[in-house]
Amino acid sequence: MEQNENYGAEQIQILEGLEAVRKRPGMYIGSTSTRGLHHLVYEIVDNAVDEALAGFCSEIEVFINEDNSITVIDNGRGIPVDIQQKAQRPAVEVVFTVLHAGGKFGGGGYKVSGGLHGVGSSVVNALSNWLEVEVSRDGKIYKQRYERGKVMYDLKIVGKTDHTGTKVTFMPDDTIFDDIIYDFDTLKTRLRETAFLTKNLKISITDKRVEPIVSKTFHYEGGIKEFVAYINKHKDPLYDKIIYCEGTKDDIYVEVALQHNDSYNEAVYSFVNNIITPEGGMHMTGFRSSITKVFNDYAREFKLLKEKDDNLSGEDLREGLTAIISIKISEPQFEGQTKQKLGNAEARSAVESVMNEQLTYFLEQNPQVAKTIINKALLAQKARLAARKARDVARKTTLAETMTLPGKLADCSDKDPMNCEIYIVEGDSAGGSAKSARNRATQAILPLRGKILNVEKARIDKILENAEIKAMITAFGTGIHDNFNIDKLRYNKIIIMTDADVDGAHIATLLLTFFYRFMPDLIKEGHVYLAQPPLYKLEKNKKVWYAYSNEELASIINEVGRDSNNKVQRYKGLGEMDAEQLWDTTMDPEKRILLRVSMDEDDESEIDITFNTLMGDKVEPRRKFIEENARFVKNLDI
């Protein structure tokens, strides 16, 4: 009888727990937008990955089903089904119905605590219309179903099996999520990243919503070594080998992979228990100290630096460096405003000690590689001094902003930035039309001549000498890098207006890359837009229609009737429009379509890979990016 009473109390507590999740889903999965929806999948997959990290699972399969439910299958031990002491219920039921039932794994596993991850299966269950779990264990298949977190029947045996594992299928609750539409590419990218971070784990994703079914499998024997190779794929590495360090210290498992390319950008990503730490933290600090120490020691020992020379700075040594730092730690502490910065001091010494030893050894074994890296750093050191001068010039230019606005800029008369926008226009002729078309009070025009400098392919000193770049920096008023100040922004909207063709898309991309590298907050805070000039003009009996896509043209033709009075013009460039047409179609705030450029802060590593891919020399990936560009740009509801 006592047991029954306890059971009742437990049940009530359970329902209260899951009710709390349903009341405030954002607290548990960040949001109920698309991002939150995708988090549900990561939560379930992360549990399977934990089973792989514990050494018992080698394969995970993910399916987007036709009805938009998700199935995840692993070949681990299967969630235990025996009666749990405290709850007096099967362990698997506890896992799905008690908040925070996951907890830390014993037996050498790593389980994440804190942040959005690892809050577990019960959260997904609470936010699902229905969820079914099947456990294969001890020769039997066990099954249980829940609806909105509530148990539908006791765990039952539904069959026999000769393997082990867990299968979970869930249908997100449509009264909680805005839309239940999964993006295959988003899931694919994240699962690829997970596969890179867990070597030898095979992960597949299958989209059953489409005909024919699409499937991708990720399986990397080299783990983060292959991750670095992937990021550098469209770059030119300075040497063939990927430097790899691995080891355990103080129960912290450390893995680092790195390779330099001939660019000037640093692409170093750090992870803790497979979760990206965008703000770095102690593991990143350890990585940086080790790079600086080991290379300077080597350079001194082998006389690549003379006695009187200054040490190479960390920044010099990290020029063009692509690296992944991945550590596994049993009790990560996250700090900082967004809880994305690793605070454990022991992680710093663990990374340092593993790297100091193995990196030193690698350099001794590969003197040619050591020399190549140090030579690049020596060049970077020289450029750094030149850049400091150039930066000072840029800073002064910004201070004197009002007097020295670029000559090509047709500024607006309104001085309240909230009302103002600046059009960055490709080419002088389109710039001319835009100048006569614009609303002079609120719209400024800055024409750019030809292709703008690719900031991924030039050192800072050269970048800051570039006329187009200087013009933008002065016009915006914000300054760059550490001196960036959004309060000084002179225009609320920065609108890129290029031709609707491949070259135009390329110019837009070069501009976005410049903003992303020099003033990322402009993008993060949503000030950057792409204008959408029409692709076609259709004239019939003196009436005019504009179409912004092939589909739109087709539907207009459908409406007005297909006959010989139709005059269809395809716009090859902005230059083919006169001022009035440009105003009507692309610049009039009442009628135009603007796309706001957005950047998911969660996805910074992915974005960066995209930018790297895009800006490299190889043509094919660039074309592919332009096709997929829409993903980074969200429709604006102006």
What are the residue numbers of the active site? 426, 499, 501, 503
191 part of the interface to ligand 28G, by CB under 6 A? no
By beta-carbon proximity to ligand 28G, the closer residue of 86 and 562 is 86
β-bridge pairing 140-147 and 70-74: unpaired
In sign, the C-alpha dihedral spanning 161, 167, 173, 176 is positive
Question: For residue 478, which of 392, 595, 397 has the smallest C-alpha distance?
Answer: 397
For residue 81, state whether it binds ligand 28G (rule: CB under 6 A): no
Q: Kindly state the smallest distance separating residue 74's Cβ from ligand 28G, in Å.
A: 4
Q: Which is nearer to ligand 28G, 47 or 585 (CB)?
A: 47
- Phi/psi of residue 281, nearest 5 degrees: 125, -155
Question: 47 or 478: whose CB is closer to ligand 28G?
Answer: 47
- Taking CA atoms, 613 is separated from 189, 226, 233, 235, 520, in Å, by 14, 16, 8, 8, 18
59/193 with CB nearer ligand 28G: 59
Return the residues of window 5-44 that contact ligand 28G according to CB under 6 A. 44
Residue with tokens 């010099």: 316
Site size toward ligand 28G (CB under 6 A) is 19
Residue with Cβ nearer ligand 28G (203 or 228): 203
**What are the DSSP E strand ranges found in 361-440?**
421-426
Among 18, 29, 73, 224, binds ligand 28G (CB under 6 A): 73
Q: Do the Cβ atoms of 469 and 463 come closer than 8 Å? A: yes
Beta bridge mates, 165: 136
Q: Whose Cβ is closer to ligand 28G: residue 74's or residue 426's?
A: 74
Quick one: tokens of 202? Answer: 């095979």
Instruction: Please report how close the Cβ of residue 528 comes to ligand 28G at its closest, in angstroms.
Output: 39
C-beta of 120: minimal distance to ligand 28G in Å?
9
CB 431 within 8 Å of CB 447 = yes
Q: In angstroms, what is the minimal distance from the CB of 602 to ligand 28G?
A: 22
577 contributes a contact to ligand 28G by CB under 6 A: no
User: Would you say how long the chain is, in residues?
Assistant: 638
Does residue 48 interact with ligand 28G by CB under 6 A? Answer: yes
- Return the residues of window 160-189 that contact ligand 28G according to CB under 6 A: 166-168
Shortest spacing between CB 191 and ligand 28G, in angstroms? 13
The residues near 195 (Cβ < 8 Å, ≥ 6 apart) are 201, 202, 203, 218, 219, 220
Query: What string of DSSP letters covers 239-274?
Result: SS--EEEEEEETTEEEEEEEEEBSSS--EEEEEETT
What is the secondary structure of 108-156 as a DSSP string? T-----SSSTT--HHHHHHTEEEEEEEEEETTEEEEEEEETTEE-S--E
Instruction: Please state at what angle helix 502-518 crosses helix 467-476, rounded to 10 degrees.
Output: 60
Site string for ligand 28G, 311-340 (x = CB under 6 A): ------------------------------
| Torsion over CA: 153, 154, 159, 161 (sign) | positive
> Residue of minimal CB distance from ligand 28G?
47
Q: Does 65 bind ligand 28G (CB under 6 A)?
A: no
Q: Is 352 in the site for ligand 28G (CB under 6 A)?
A: no
Judged by CB under 6 A, does residue 95 bind ligand 28G? Answer: yes
Tell me if 74 contacts ligand 28G by CB under 6 A. yes
User: Per CB under 6 A, does 47 bind ligand 28G?
Assistant: yes
Q: Which residue matches tokens 């001794």?
A: 364
In the complex, the smallest distance separating the C-beta of residue 21 from ligand 28G, rounded to whole angstroms, is: 17
User: Which residues is 518 bridged to in the sheet?
Assistant: none
Query: Minimum distance from CB of 116 to ligand 28G (Å)?
Result: 17
Give yes or no for residue 94 binding ligand 28G (CB under 6 A): yes
Which member of 64, 79, 187, 327 binds ligand 28G (CB under 6 A)? 79
Contact 622, 614 (CB under 8 A): yes
Give the footprint of ligand 28G on this chain (CB under 6 A). Answer: 44, 47-48, 51, 72-74, 76-77, 79-80, 84, 91, 94-95, 101, 166-168
